[in-house]
Amino acid sequence: MLRFWQKRALTGVVTEHREFEDEIAQIRSVLKDEVKKRFAGSLAIRMVDSGSCNACEAECNALSNPFYDLERLGIRFVASPRHADVMLLSGVMTFNMFHHVMDAWEQIPEPKWCITLGDCSVMQAPFTKSFAIKGPVGEHLPVAWHIPGCPPSPEVIMRGLLDFLRSFEQK
Amino acid sequence: MRLIARYAVERQEGLEVVTRYDEKSESVMLDRQNPCVDTIATFHPSAIWFERKMHDDFGIKIEGAFDNRPLVHHERFPKGVHPMRKEFTQTALDFADFTSYKFEAVGGDGVFEVAVGPIHAGIIEPGHFHFSQAGEDMLHQEVRHFYKYRGIEKMVEGMTLDEAKPVIERISGNESVAYQIAWQQIAAQAAGAEMPLPLRRYHAFLLELERFIHHWTDLGFIPNDAGFGAALAYASRIAEEGRRMMAALTGHRFGFGAVKWEKPRIETQGVAAWLERMANEAVWFKEWIMDIPSLWDRFDTTGRLRHEKAVKYDCVGVVARACGVPVDVRLNPFYIEHGFKMQTQAYGDVGARFKVRLAEVENSIAMMRNFLEEEAAALTPGEAEDGRYEAFVESSLGELYMTVELKGGKIERFFARDPGFVNWQALHLMMPGNIIADFPLINKSCDLSYAGNDL
Ligand code: SF4
């Protein structure tokens, strides 16, 4: 264990993009009431994969590696749709996932938002519409925000989520 | 003889069923109106999914099959629709009435069923696991997948190989480089082109880098599932470094679009220094993690797959190698010259799979050093000739098999068998004797692809 703490001290903190933290602090102060009212102070995300290649998920998983450490911004991935404010949807909407996605959406308590992640969800990845694909997602769900990319990098995802929060400023 | 794949192709004369073993390929022609073929699942249990899929795709009846349930067509898929038939050209389908699926389950006093999925609790692909439980003990578990069934085999029909490339490289994000290399092997064969050595080395380098990233991701997630989060923090940092190296070399964090007919000039010094550092990190990590008894208490003897079963189920990849079955596409002169060493373990449990990954990471780093080359290189492949071509690539998950038939320069039939397609079928063998809390650990130690499987 001693070796571990040595290594730990030598590696130090690798978290990058500290400016995100300032930005969220700023957003928080502007949106204080709004975030508090709508999101109970932190944004809870239920990620649903409706037919991705898994790279979009891999980038969401990367959000919790020490370089990005998303949770420090008060944005969390939660295990149940019932704990979520937002459904983050990746991949093409497949025929076989359609009803399960709709089910998950139903389970999220109001008010709720659907954010699409990656080019697949808006049918801009190279997959064409086939008998097995019910895309784009926007035809089936009220999409509030879209984060483009194939896949969007962790930075782009963080930026996208902050911009989504920002969009309440105008309202 | 190991079964690699079984699939159907529609022809003028009827429906051809091809059975590909490691040593030979067999083929039978079936009547188009009433297609019927004998099952081979009695000898090769892994044929079950191939055969059920053939039935869904083409409407081929499997004679003597003991499992006639649909595979890729779920509860609301219209009956009697066989989308891989040439006459089927619809690009949209309506939902049919719900027909419930009969899960495999064990009955008995006090035995109950636990259903998990398709949407799981974490950030993970959709799939379904169905357990028969006696208290904490798992008696049986069935995997049900194909929630991500995107119809890719049909989607690429009628495209040229070049047109299909962006789709093929997105079949599975974890194995994108592997799928691209398989695509390129096929494209090179079709054009009668010999791949120049620097190009082969460069792509082999990228493939090892992809394995490096994927293995590190697992080396973090597996201990994390045993409650040891520090390993995840450590390993995910290294995986991220690997992704960044991939982006620095190819312009994409997952290497999408990386496999082309030319190799850029590389500044090897920086990469070599990085590899050196990664080699040290790997050694440090191994010494640290091997020394944590509480972790090995969870890993050892958990989720064991026996050698005979791994052979019987035609397993590939880490799953096979961890039970002492030495299957690896890299066992050839090109790779051996560049430092490939087969990594196996004997016991076939979570611990063995973890150790295989640890050893493979070190071996990948050693090979990457040898594959590094500064010079640029390029090849102009000629026109693609019609015919049937196949490719084998050792992806990070195991042997990937792809076959393409070209007609008039266009794809007539595309078929890919992800390593997961066979390994998923063996997962249930690892369950009996373990408690349900060990399931995530067992599943993660195999780390099979859903997207690659659910073409
Ligand atoms: S958008 Fe791109 S990376 Fe994301 S799931 Fe689709 S193909 Fe994969």
What's the pLDDT at B280? 95
* pLDDT above 60 for A105: yes
* pLDDT above 90 for B313: yes
- Judged by a CB distance cut-off of 8 A, whether residue A158 touches chain B is no
Which of the residue ranges A61-65, B289-293, B363-367 has the most confident prediction, judged by mean pLDDT? B363-367
* pLDDT above 80 for B327: yes
* pLDDT above 80 for B345: yes
Residues of B in contact with A129 (CB under 8 A): 91-92
Q: What is the pLDDT of residues A5-15, one digit of tens each?
A: 787 777 777 77
Percent of chain B exceeding pLDDT 70 equals: 100
* pLDDT above 70 for A36: no
- The arithmetic mean of pLDDT across residues B289-309, rounded, is 94
* pLDDT above 70 for B429: yes
Residues of B in contact with A66 (CB under 8 A): 233, 236-237, 240
Percent of chain B exceeding pLDDT 90 equals: 87
For B230, nearest residue in chain A (alpha carbons): A4
What's the pLDDT at B366? 97
Q: What is the pLDDT of residues B113-141, one digit of tens each?
A: 888 989 988 888 999 999 999 988 999 99
Q: What is the pLDDT of residues A17-26, one digit of tens each?
A: 767 667 766 6
What's the pLDDT at B107? 86
Question: How many other CB atoms are there within 10 angstroms of residue A158's CB atom?
Answer: 21
What's the pLDDT at A24? 65
First-to-last C-alpha distance (Å) of chain B: 26
Report which of residues A31 and B440 the model is more confident about. Answer: B440
* pLDDT above 70 for A27: no
Question: How would DSSP label each residue in chain A?
Answer: -HHHHHHHHHH------HHHHHHHHHHHHHHHHHHHHHHTTSEEEEEEESS--SHHHHHHHHTTSTTT-GGGGTEEE-SSGGG-SEEEEES--BTTTHHHHHHHHHHSPSS-EEEEESGGGGT-SSPPP-TTB---GGGTS-EEEEE-SSSPPHHHHHHHHHHHHHTTT--
Residues of B in contact with A47 (CB under 8 A): 123
Closest CA to A50 of A153, A154, A143: A143
Question: How many other CB atoms are there within 10 angstroms of residue B412's CB atom?
Answer: 17
Report which of residues B108 and B49 the model is more confident about. Answer: B49
**Radius of gyration, CA atoms only, chain B:** 22
Closest CA to B257 of B173, B154, B159, B379: B173
Cis amide bond preceding A136, omega within 30: yes
Lowest mean pLDDT among A65-79, B38-52, B76-90: A65-79
Confirm if B349 and B303 have CB atoms less than 8 A apart.
yes
Which residue among A4, A56, A58 places its CB closest to the CB of B288? A4
- The arithmetic mean of pLDDT across residues B424-428, rounded, is 95
Nearest-angstrom CA–CA distance, B23 and B1: 7
* pLDDT above 70 for B404: yes
Best residue in A45, A54, A99, A139 for a mutation probing chain B (most B CBs within 10 Å): A54
Quick one: pLDDT band at residue A37, thresholds 50, 70, 90? Answer: low
Quick one: pLDDT band at residue B312, thresholds 50, 70, 90? Answer: very high
A77 to B148: CB separation less than 8 angstroms, yes or no: no
Centre of ligand 1 from the C-alpha of residue A125, in Å: 7
Confirm if A154 and A118 have CB atoms less than 8 A apart.
no
Q: What is the pLDDT of residues B256-286, one digit of tens each?
A: 999 999 999 988 999 999 999 999 999 999 9
Residues of B in contact with A95 (CB under 8 A): 74, 76-77, 93, 95, 149
* pLDDT above 90 for A104: yes
* pLDDT above 90 for B108: no
Tokens of B385: 């000739």
Closest CA to B155 of B451, B421, B404, B413: B413
Question: How many other CB atoms are there within 10 angstroms of residue B439's CB atom?
Answer: 22
What's the pLDDT at A1? 67
State chain B's mean pLDDT as an integer.
94
Q: What is the pLDDT of residues B199-242, one digit of tens each?
A: 999 999 999 999 999 999 999 999 999 999 999 999 999 999 99
Which residue among B93, B119, B451 places its CB closest to the CB of A131? B93
* pLDDT above 80 for B440: yes
* pLDDT above 90 for A29: no
Centre of ligand 1 from the C-alpha of residue B254, in Å: 11
Quick one: pLDDT band at residue B79, thresholds 50, 70, 90? Answer: very high
B288 to A67: CB separation less than 8 angstroms, yes or no: no
Centre of ligand 1 from the C-alpha of residue A91, in Å: 6
* pLDDT above 60 for B319: yes
- The arithmetic mean of pLDDT across residues B419-445, rounded, is 94
Nearest-angstrom CA–CA distance, B306 and B303: 10
A3 to B172: CB separation less than 8 angstroms, yes or no: no
Residues 101-130 of chain B whose Cβ lies under 8 A from any Cβ of chain A: 118-119, 121-126
What's the pLDDT at A22? 73
